[in-house]
Amino acid sequence: MAYVITTPCIDTTDQSCVDVCPVDCIHFEEGKDRMLYIDPDECIDCGACEPACPVSAIFAEDDVPDDQDAFKEINALWYSDKDAARGKVPA
């Protein structure tokens, strides 16, 4: 199980979660991305990012609200096809 970044991060891109991640699995490209993404293959499920997020955008994969379920795929997709992931982020 990994952690997932969801809608509240869009256009916020606060990097508090990056600062506390012990394995550096949270990324984005400055000027290209509207949100941050967690690599599900690198995430060690430590949970340090969740309380660090000032907008409550991070959830354990099993706790992602139903209306945010698409972000499980979006976070993972960014690590294989950044443009496709960006295209799925709601406007």
pTM: 0.96
Domains belonging to the chain, first-starting first, are: 3-88 (3.30.70.20)
Going by C-alpha positions, the residue among 6, 18, 11, 3 that lies closest to residue 61 is 3
- Per residue in 35-87, pLDDT (tens digit) is 999 999 999 999 999 999 999 999 999 999 999 999 999 999 999 999 999 99
